[in-house]
């Protein structure tokens, strides 16, 4: 009589450490992801900061720094993360991992954790360069608040990216939806929150992910006082993270079938 030996699942800690090392290595080798996450936000920081004094009165330095960080968070959350998940799903990576004793939830946790760390690093880089660019000095509380808002912003856009990849079946669809949403959010957040189109549109833009986070960053950097705009940004960001996170988890498929 033949005995069947069942594979025991590895300890969760060991599985997470192994996945974290693998995901971090893949991310560091992905030049496109690093470009979207760090180089482009820095470029946007200097592009938006160019111009005369009149322009700086419309877009104050804290807002420009926050917008650049938000841009990096949005690029990683709407392009880097969902595209990587979609490609792995199409190539059968998840289907093969489902037959292993590794809990599948650790796969998602590992990828999200690596993205969060990259987002925090990007935020520190942009904040430091933004201080130099605009001749600002930030105290410890400013650095801490910016990191907290960056963490919240990263969760918002990762949740939206998870929803996109959960509601679509191919990487082509993910890419198309991400590009349209990215452009829409960027224009609404940049133009609307600046007040160039009036108070009503500025209020509406404050409820968008880009506008809400930019207002939070403005207060976190000490450029403006905490007020109703920041409360709206905080409430909106939490709602986006919870709602889109639920959608992304609820309707996510590990295979394309």
| pLDDT the model gives residue 2 | 47
Altogether, the residues listed in the chain come to a count of 257
Sign of torsion, CA 218 133 27 114? Answer: negative
Write out pLDDT tens, residues 221-233: 888 888 888 999 9
Distance CA 43, CA 75 (A): 13
> For residue 197, which phi and psi values (nearest 5 degrees)?
-105, 15
| pLDDT the model gives residue 194 | 64
| Long-range own/partner contacts, residues 94-100 (CB < 8 A, 24 or more apart) | 94/254, 94/255, 95/254, 95/255, 98/254
Distance CA 202, CA 40 (A): 25
Nearest to 126 by CA among 189, 52, 214, 224: 214
| pLDDT the model gives residue 141 | 92
| pLDDT the model gives residue 80 | 83
| pLDDT the model gives residue 56 | 42
For 150, counting Cβ atoms within 10 Å of its Cβ (0-12 exposed, 13-18 middle, 19+ buried), the class is buried
Mean pLDDT (10-residue bins), the chain, 257 residues: 52 77 78 76 77 52 86 88 87 77 80 90 91 87 94 95 91 90 83 71 84 89 86 93 93 80
| pLDDT the model gives residue 35 | 73
For 136, counting Cβ atoms within 10 Å of its Cβ (0-12 exposed, 13-18 middle, 19+ buried), the class is middle
Write out pLDDT tens, residues 158-196: 999 999 999 998 888 999 999 999 888 888 877 776 666
Would you list the DSSP string of 75-126? HIIIIIHHHHHHHHHHTTHHHHHTTSSS-HHHHHHHHHHHHHHHHHHHHHHH
Whole-number Cα distances in Å, 141 to 116, 131, 147, 148, 193? 20, 15, 10, 10, 25
């Amino acid at each position: 009589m033949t005995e069947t030996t069942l594979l025991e699942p590895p300890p969760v800690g060991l599985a997470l450490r192994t996945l974290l090392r693998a995901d971090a290595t893949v991310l560091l080798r992905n030049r496109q992801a690093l470009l979207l996450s760090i180089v482009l936000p820095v470029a946007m920081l200097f592009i938006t900061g160019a111009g005369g004094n009149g322009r700086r009165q419309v877009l104050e330095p804290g807002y420009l720094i926050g917008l650049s960080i938000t841009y990096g968070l949005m690029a990683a959350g709407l392009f880097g993360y969902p595209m990587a998940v979609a490609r792995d799903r199409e190539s059968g990576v998840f289907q093969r991992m489902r037959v292993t004793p590794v809990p599948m939830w650790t796969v998602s946790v590992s990828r999200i954790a690596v993205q969060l760390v990259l987002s925090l690093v990007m935020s520190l880089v942009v904040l430091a360069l933004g201080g130099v660019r605009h001749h600002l000095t930030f105290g410890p509380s400013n650095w801490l608040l910016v990191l907290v808002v960056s963490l919240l912003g990263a969760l918002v856009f990762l949740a939206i990216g998870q929803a996109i990849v959960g509601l679509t079946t191919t990487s082509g669809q993910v890419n198309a939806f991400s590009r349209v949403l990215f452009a829409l959010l960027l224009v609404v957040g940049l133009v609307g929150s600046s007040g160039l189109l009036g108070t009503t549109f500025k209020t509406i833009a404050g409820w968008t992910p880009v506008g809400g986070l930019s207002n939070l960053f403005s207060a976190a950097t000490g450029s403006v006082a905490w007020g109703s705009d920041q409360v709206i940004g905080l409430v909106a960001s939490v709602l986006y993270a919870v709602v889109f996170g639920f959608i992304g988890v609820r309707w996510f498929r590990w295979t394309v079938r």
